[in-house]
Amino acid sequence: MNKRWTISKINDFVEKNSDSKLLSTEYHGFSQKLLFQCACGSQFEKTFTKFKNNHQRKCEVCQPPKASR
Interface residues with Zn ion (CB under 5 A) are: 38, 40, 42, 59, 61-62
Q: Closest distance between Zn ion and the C-beta of residue 40, in Å? A: 3
* Cβ 6 to Zn ion shortest distance, Å: 26
Q: What sign for the dihedral angle of Cα 33, 10, 4, 49?
A: positive
Distance of CA 40 to the CA centre of its chain: 15
* Closest by Cα among 27, 29, 20, 25 to 51: 20
Q: Which is nearer to Zn ion, 6 or 40 (CB)?
A: 40
Closest CB to Zn ion among residues 29, 64: 64
